Structure 1
Amino acid sequence: MVVRRRDPSERGQLDLFRALPGDFAPRDAQDLMAYPFFSLSKSHRIAPIDFSAGGVSIRVEAVPDHGMATIWDADILIWAASQIVEARDAGLRTSRLMAATPYEILTYVGRGTSKRDYQRLKAALDRLQSTTISTSIRQPAEGRRHRFSWINEWQERTDRQGRPDGIELIVPDWFYKAVLDDALILTIDPAYFDLTGGLDRWLYRIVRKHGGRQRGGWRFDLRHLHLKSGSLSPFKRFAFELRDIVRRQPLPGYLLSLEVEIGGRTLLAFEPLAACGKPVDGLVLSGTRPIVPSGTRGSCHQEPKPALTSGNRGRIRALNLESNQESNFEERARDVENLIRTAAASLRAAGKSPRKGAPAAQTGRKESEPASPDQLPLLDRPGGAR
């Protein structure tokens, strides 16, 4: 519900949108899911995030007093996006100025409602307001950046008797426009709020954004995932934690696995699981050793696939070229570079050890002279020819 306000400040120029009651589906902004905007640790982070790939640049900065907004703080933005989309779909007017009680926000994102939880909510609002973002995403001109904070401002409300009456907050225009665009919003599993690890939460959002509900799933190069995470952990530690996630399989709705290519590169693969949680399942565990068919359809009781596979799999996964262009471009570029190096090494070895009976004169150079680089296949020649 929207209430008219008159005031020369930004707050006064916006209609007040009161939070809607109900436990509706959570929505998330795809830009926030795909790129490193938040700290993945609950520790006090001051070091900025600098990300640049595929024409997208992002810089996230924090202040020492509050530290950088974390991926747990982003739950407030998920709540805000869900409220705005739900109201719009119901034909109600929305606004960047939102009012709600702490209880409504905390219960929606699966938190407790103790005094400590209320204090943590206020600290999260402070971090969201003090964290600043500069990005080229959705900017009309190349090189242009939009600078904003996740919350322009927030304040506690009181009623006429001076008793606490909830909070008001203003979300930035960059975020608000993304939420109102259907193409930039995705529904997420409510079980996301149960994920306790920062890397678990970040990985779910990446998987949900890029993999969606594609039956064949997608795959990512581990080093590119490390870049997209904005994590301060070194790559070896990051890869170790990803392998632990693959072992635990905590992401709701998705199955993770690792694929090792012939060249030794490790890829994280993921694919959607069959829908579960129906009252009657196709296969019912009877308590005995064998699984007894119940006569109904489908089953969620399936033998888990191996978490680690080799490069010679029976089927080839899609490379998600549309949703993950920069990752696959870098992967293919590295493959081409490796191919060139391998070909060059082979030809040099062949030049040093010619076949028996083959005179050196046939090659046009001395027997011990290696092949000239500009004669190797796939190498750049003067003028750009290949």
Structure 2
Amino acid sequence: MSRRHLTRSEREQLELFRALPGNLAPRDAQDLMAYPFFSLAKTHRITPIDYRMNDIAIRVEAVPEHGMATIWDADVLIWAASQIVEARDAGLRTSRLMAATPYEILTFIGRGVSARDYHRLKAALDRLQSTTVATTLRQTSERRMHRFSWINEWTERADAHGHADGIDLIVPDWFYRAVLDDALVLTIDREYFALTGGLERWLYRIVRKHAGRQRAGWRFDLRHLYAKSASLSPFKRFAFELRDIARRQPLPGYRVAVECDRTGRELLVFAPGTLSTGACGQPVDGVVPSGTQDRVPSGTGIACYQEPGAVFSAGNSVTCEPPNLDSNQEESNSSDVGRDADRWKTADGSRR
């Protein structure tokens, strides 16, 4: 083997893939949706994530200079996944070496395009590159850890006048192979990018991964959700914020509620649907018929001719469909899914 071949950079070995134009459907990698890989806070986090469940181990580490990659930084990976899947489906050659303008990335993920937004994008790329991940996910046959960074390297391109006009970045092989596997990618709602809270964003991805399009939805024990989030907040604060999300219903395409089982354990319940179409009667104006010649204010944010129905049925009985069909086969076969869904206990305590 020649000395020149030994010293070739990774960039020199990869063919450049130019980002596709147009408003592509956003795609997300299921592994990134189901497990704790990112900080949920906008504050500087250097505390590692150390998650273990059965045969799955995840260790995420940050450097003090940049801090851990956040769930907002992960939008860049959603952009990358969407580009790779779109190109593959169109029969085009894809590559881990991707080229785009900051404008293309920022507009896809719903950000502004000012100088400040551009500098924030560069800071996100720095965090994605400096954050390291070690995991056994998709390494189960070998029981070995795969270590990588979310971006192997990134480079600014400049025009003839020295002004930045593009970005080249290299995504890791672990991520690239997951995106190319149809079973490991899901389309997400574009309204996801409008969610401002880290916990809201994380919860949407968990809900989209597990509830999918099943009418019966999915259930999670709050304590187990807390472990899967890798949040640094105390559990009481975490549970309070989940209850607040259930009150506000901000997740696009899904309804969420907090219920208690017969033992008093709190469960987060979620299913496809929206309150504006499924829980309310016929929508009307901000006033309703009063029974006289005059119309009076309805007194509610969403006016209805009838009382809004409950998001979920009341009571402690739980009847559910089989596990989420959108889950990838690897996770569906693991005991982690059984723990997530608590094996769908029925009212008499038996397991389905």
**SS of the residue 2:288 aligns to:** coil
TM-superposed CA distance for 1:325, in Å, is: 3.8
Residue 23 (structure 1) aligned with residue 27 (structure 2): no
User: What runs of 5+ residues in structure 2 fail to find an aligned partner?
Assistant: 1-6, 290-303, 325-331
Name the SS of the counterpart of 1:46 in structure 2. Answer: coil
> Using the alignment, how far apart are the partners of 2:155 and 2:95 within structure 1?
16
Give secondary structure in 2 for the equivalent of 1:244. Answer: helix
Alignment of 1:326-337 (within 5 A): 326=336, 328-329=338-339
1:222-275 deviations in Å (ceiling 9; x for gaps): 000000001111111111111111111100000001111111111000000169
In the alignment, the residues of structure 2 paired with residue 94 and residue 276 of structure 1 have an alpha-carbon distance, to the nearest angstrom, of 40
User: How far apart in 1 are the matches of 2:262 and 2:283?
Assistant: 40
Equivalent in the alignment of 1:305: 310
CA distance, structure 2, for counterparts of residue 260 and residue 132 of structure 1: 38
Conserved? CA contact 2:34–2:209, under 8 Å = yes
What is the TM-score with the length of structure 2 in the denominator? 0.83
Deviation at 1:8, TM superposition (A): 2.1
**SS of the residue aligned with 1:69?**
coil
Rounded to whole Å, the distance in 1 between the matches of 2:213 and 2:124 is 31
Aligned partner of 1:137 in structure 2 is 137
Q: Decide whether the 8 Å contact of 1:258 with 1:307 is kept in 2.
A: no
Alpha-carbon separation, structure 2, partners of 1:284 and 1:51: 45
Displacement after TM superposition at 1:160 (Å): 3.7
Q: Is the 8 A contact 2:220 2:341 kept in 1?
A: no
Q: Secondary structure at the match of 2:196?
A: coil
Q: Are 1:213 and 2:218 counterparts?
A: no
Q: What are the within-5 Å matches in structure 2 for residues 1-386 of structure 1?
A: 8-273=8-273, 283=282, 285=284, 288-289=287-288, 303-305=308-310, 309-312=314-317, 316-318=319-321, 320=323, 322=332, 325-326=335-336, 328-329=338-339
Q: Within 2, Cα distance between the matches of 1:216 and 1:323?
A: 20
The alpha carbon displacement at 1:317 in A equals: 2.5
**Residues 50, 60 of structure 1: 8 Å contact kept:** yes
Question: What one-letter code is carried by the residue in structure 1 that aligns with 2:108?
Answer: Y
CA distance in structure 1 between the aligned counterparts of 2:276 and 2:15, rounded to whole angstroms: 42
- Partners of 1:330 and 1:175 in 2: CA distance: 24
Q: What whole-Å deviation, never above 9, does each CA across 1:81-136 have from its counterpart, x for those lacking one? A: 00111111111111000011111100100001111111100000000000000000
Q: Deviations over 1:153-185 (max 9, x none)?
A: 001001344332211000000000000000000
How has the CA–CA distance of structure 1 residues 330 and 104 changed in structure 2, closer, same or farther, with 3 Å as cutoff? closer
- CA distance in 2 between counterparts of 1:286 and 1:324 reads 49
Seen in structure 2, the aligned counterparts of structure 1 residues 40 and 324 have a Cα distance that, compared at 3 Å, is farther
Is the radius of gyration larger for structure 1 or structure 2?
A: 1
Partners of 1:50 and 1:197 lie apart in 2 by 22
**Given that residues 221 and 340 in structure 2 are in contact (C-alpha distance below 8 angstroms), is that contact kept between their aligned partners in structure 1?**
no
Q: Check conservation: 1:257, 1:308, Cα contact below 8 A.
A: no
What residue number does 2:297 align with?
none
Distance in 1 (alpha carbons) for counterparts of 2:167 and 2:309: 46
1:88, 1:94 within 8 Å by CA — same for their partners in 2?
yes
Aligned length: 315
What is the CA deviation profile of residues 306-332 of structure 1, one whole-angstrom value per residue up to 9, with x for unaligned ones?
5794314xx613463838842543885
Amino acid at match of 1:316: T
**Aligned partner letter, 2:105:** I
Tell me the secondary structure at the aligned position of residue 289 of structure 1. strand
- Mapped partners of 2:339, 2:202: distance in 1: 22
CA shift, 1:57, in A, is 0.5
Against the structure 1 CA distance between its residues 166 and 37, is the aligned structure 2 distance closer, same or farther, given a 3 Å change threshold?
same
% identical equivalent positions:
66
Unaligned runs of 5+ in 1: 1-6, 291-300, 340-386
Distance 1:275 1:159, change over 3 A: farther
Residues 128 and 150 in structure 2, CA contact (< 8 A), matched pair in contact too: yes
| Aligned partner of residue 256 in structure 1, secondary structure | strand
Greater relative contact order, per chain length (Cα 8 Å cut-off, separation 6+): 2
